């Protein structure tokens, strides 16, 4: 494997949905979806050993792009669990030479954040495998981006080249922003909250079913990602209260997981964002708000999603995973301490320099810091905020500020610290180290 290149793929060899029922929709949609997904994935172990898994005409020299794993989640399928592709789409040949379109994008609430239209028809994945691959472990890459932006269109052949082509890589895309994480009692009762996570779950089931056709071993699947991708890894590790075992994956690697404060699906915060989104889309005064949203033009919804995020506090997104009672049942802080976790192994790390991207640059006093902490962690009491500040004292003198350095710069940490006020640096450190708090450790 020397460079990125893709070929045509016969979809008839990948029967994604032939004879398969549609997954749950409407009332209790997520529960029905999960039950059916578990059943279809468990059936993989029961397939006849006489059935050849290897594709007869497959030449996985470099990889395949633009493989559809779900039907377009548009119109009536908005805010529903992902559905398998229709037979007429699956049973044919598709060009696998170029990446599929990326999903609608929401950038964090920072000045100058762009609006970049995407396509709702974006539930595609890409497969990379060495020539002659057979029974290799599989790595599934889940991209980051605050659950609001990003895509799975990176050239993953580079990571294979750097690791002696010792495994198969699958990169996936999932619904983002309001399209993937809109939440309210109305959405829950007539569709699915956490739709973006359910997209990922369907993609993982696809990998379980078809990995061997690309030379992968479905019993050795590692899911990995960075930031929101790593947060997604954590959510799948905690899914269904940790009752899924190794059904969808064996290992998880979470590089700096982004786990924002986890609200209930009908809590004030997600409900207010749902109402704001509906207002911006021109549906707030309709008798049936959700039906109105499902009938709106995609660009109107994309702009409404982006504008709702733009109203948030600095560096935050409006839409993120919630406790839904089906796929996500508990806080990470509760499940991890009780070891209610899926998979066999979970490796979690942290990026030291990710926090500065999302901490507001105008924090100049402890008062500013306290106000920011209250906005970022709304369940913290005034006493808890005072305690946090007291345990991490800073002075107004820049030379007294503790400032991290990677040791490679020509400037000393003390020199660099003169560019930042103490409370600002503390905000950066708080954000970088806040994932356990955001996932419910301080509630």
376 flagged as catalytic = no
Worst-scoring range by mean pLDDT, 74-83, 289-298, 299-308, 414-423? 414-423
Say which residues have a Cβ less than 8 Å from residue 151's Cβ, sequence separation at least 6: 99, 102, 103, 122, 143, 173
Q: Which of 387, 377, 383, 378 has the alpha carbon at shortest distance from 433?
A: 377
Residue 358: pLDDT band with limits 50, 70, 90? confident
Residue-range definition of the domain harbouring residue 434: 356-441
Residue 404: pLDDT band with limits 50, 70, 90? low
Q: What is the pLDDT of residue 21?
A: 45
One-character DSSP codes across 291-317: HHHHTS-HHHHHHHHHHHHHTSSTT--
Report the largest interatomic distance among the alpha carbons of the chain, rounded to a whole angstrom.
74
Q: Residues 299-319: what's their mean pLDDT?
A: 92
Say which residues have a Cβ less than 8 Å from residue 173's Cβ, sequence separation at least 6: 100, 102, 103, 122, 123, 124, 125, 143, 151, 152, 153, 199
Q: Residues 150-164: what's their mean pLDDT?
A: 89
Domain holding 69: CATH number? 3.40.50.1820
Q: What is the pLDDT of residues 13-70, one digit of tens each?
A: 454 444 344 555 555 799 999 999 999 999 887 765 545 565 544 444 457 889 999 9
pLDDT of residue 151 exceeding 70, the answer is yes
> Are 165 and 104 members of one domain?
yes
Rounded Cα distance, 199 and 235, in Å: 13
pLDDT of residue 2 exceeding 60, the answer is no
On whether residue 304 sits in a domain, the answer given is no
Annotated active-site residue in 189, 354, 365, 404: 354
Write b or e for each residue in 190-222: b if 16 or more Cβ atoms lie within 10 A of its Cβ, otherwise e.
bbbbbbbbbbbbbbbbbbbbbbbbbbbbbebbb
> Are 232 and 373 members of one domain?
no
Q: What is the pLDDT of residue 155?
A: 87
> Are 152 and 26 members of one domain?
yes
Q: Residues 71-91: what's their mean pLDDT?
A: 88
Q: What is the pLDDT of residue 422?
A: 58
> Are 82 and 58 members of one domain?
yes
Helix, strand or coil, per DSSP, at residue 34: helix
Residue 120: pLDDT band with limits 50, 70, 90? very high
On whether residue 391 sits in a domain, the answer given is yes
On whether residue 301 sits in a domain, the answer given is no
First and final CA of the chain: distance in angstroms?
49
pLDDT more than 70, % of the chain = 77
On whether residue 4 sits in a domain, the answer given is no
Residue 220: pLDDT band with limits 50, 70, 90? very high
Rounded Cα distance, 319 and 24, in Å: 23
pLDDT of residue 427 exceeding 70, the answer is no
Q: What is the pLDDT of residue 131?
A: 82
pLDDT of residue 432 exceeding 60, the answer is no
Worst-scoring range by mean pLDDT, 93-102, 233-242, 352-361? 352-361
Phi, psi (degrees; rounded to nearest 5) at 427: -65, -40
> Are 76 and 93 members of one domain?
yes
Beta carbons of 165 and 139 less than 8 angstroms apart? no
> Are 331 and 409 members of one domain?
no
pTM for the predicted model, two decimal places? 0.84
Phi, psi (degrees; rounded to nearest 5) at 351: -90, 120
Q: What is the pLDDT of residue 64?
A: 85
> Are 370 and 244 members of one domain?
no
Q: What is the pLDDT of residue 398?
A: 46
One-character DSSP codes across 76-99: GGTTS---PPPHHHHSSEE--SSP
Q: What is the pLDDT of residue 399?
A: 44
- Provide the mean pLDDT of the chain: 83
Q: Residues 404-424: what's their mean pLDDT?
A: 50
227 flagged as catalytic = yes
On whether residue 90 sits in a domain, the answer given is yes
Task: Indicate the burial class of 299 (C-beta count within 10 angstroms; 0-12, 13-18, 19 or more).
Answer: exposed
Beta carbons of 176 and 17 less than 8 angstroms apart? no
Number of structural domains in the chain: 2
Phi, psi (degrees; rounded to nearest 5) at 139: -110, 125
On whether residue 382 sits in a domain, the answer given is yes
Residue 164: pLDDT band with limits 50, 70, 90? confident
Annotated active-site residue in 171, 183, 227, 232: 227
Q: Which of 209, 202, 167, 169 has the alpha carbon at shortest distance from 73?
A: 202
Rounded Cα distance, 105 and 49, in Å: 43
> Are 345 and 361 members of one domain?
no
Rounded Cα distance, 336 and 148, in Å: 26
Residue 279: pLDDT band with limits 50, 70, 90? very high
On whether residue 25 sits in a domain, the answer given is yes
Residue 313: pLDDT band with limits 50, 70, 90? confident
CA distances to 120, 153, 158, 409 from 2, rounded to whole Å, are 32, 18, 8, 34
Does residue 195 or residue 415 have the better pLDDT?
Answer: 195
> Are 243 and 373 members of one domain?
no
Worst-scoring range by mean pLDDT, 296-305, 322-331, 424-433? 424-433
Which of 331, 349, 367 is the last residue in one of the domains?
349
């Amino acid at each position: 494997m020397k460079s990125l290149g893709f070929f045509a793929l016969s979809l008839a060899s990948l029967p994604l949905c032939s004879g398969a029922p549609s997954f749950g929709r409407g009332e209790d949609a997520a529960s029905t979806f999960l039950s059916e997904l578990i059943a279809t994935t468990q059936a993989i172990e029961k397939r006849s050993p006489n059935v050849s898994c290897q594709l007869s005409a497959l030449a996985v020299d470099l990889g395949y792009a633009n493989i559809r794993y779900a039907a377009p989640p548009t119109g009536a399928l908005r805010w529903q669990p992902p559905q398998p592709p229709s037979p007429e789409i699956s049973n044919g040949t598709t060009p696998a030479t170029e990446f599929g379109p990326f999903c609608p994008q929401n950038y964090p609430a920072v000045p100058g954040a762009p609006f970049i239209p995407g396509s709702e028809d974006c539930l595609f994945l890409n497969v990379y495998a060495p020539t002659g691959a057979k029974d290799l472990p599989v790595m599934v890459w889940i991209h980051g981006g605050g659950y609001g932006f990003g895509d799975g269109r990176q050239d993953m052949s580079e990571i294979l080249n750097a690791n002696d082509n010792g495994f198969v890589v699958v990169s996936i895309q999932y619904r983002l922003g309001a399209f993937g994480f809109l939440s309210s009692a109305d959405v829950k009762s007539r569709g699915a909250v956490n739709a973006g996570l359910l997209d990922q779950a369907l993609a993982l089931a696809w990998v379980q079913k078809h990995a061997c056709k690309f030379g992968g071993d479905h019993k050795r699947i590692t899911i990995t990602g960075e930031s929101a991708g790593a947060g997604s890894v954590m959510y799948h590790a905690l899914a269904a209260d940790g009752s899924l075992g190794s059904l969808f994956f064996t290992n998880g690697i979470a590089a700096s997981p982004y786990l924002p404060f986890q609200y209930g699906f009908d809590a004030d915060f997600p409900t207010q964002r749902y109402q704001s989104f509906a207002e911006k889309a021109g549906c707030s005064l309709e008798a049936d708000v959700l039906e109105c949203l499902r009938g709106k033009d995609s660009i109107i919804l994309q702009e409404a999603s982006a504008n709702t995020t733009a109203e948030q506090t600095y560096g935050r997104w409006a839409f993120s995973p919630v406790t839904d009672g089906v796929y996500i049942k508990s806080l990470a802080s509760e499940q991890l301490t009780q070891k209610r976790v899926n998979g066999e192994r979970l490796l979690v790390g942290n990026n030291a320099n990710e926090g500065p991207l999302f901490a507001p640059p105008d924090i100049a006093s402890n008062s500013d810091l306290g106000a920011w902490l209250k906005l970022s962690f709304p369940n913290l009491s005034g006493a808890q905020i005072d305690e946090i500040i007291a345990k991490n004292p800073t002075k107004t003198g820049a030379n007294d500020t503790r400032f991290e350095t990677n040791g490679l710069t020509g400037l000393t940490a003390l020199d660099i610290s003169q560019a930042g006020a103490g409370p600002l640096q503390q905000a950066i450190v708080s954000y970088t180290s806040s994932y356990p708090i955001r996932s419910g450790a301080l509630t």
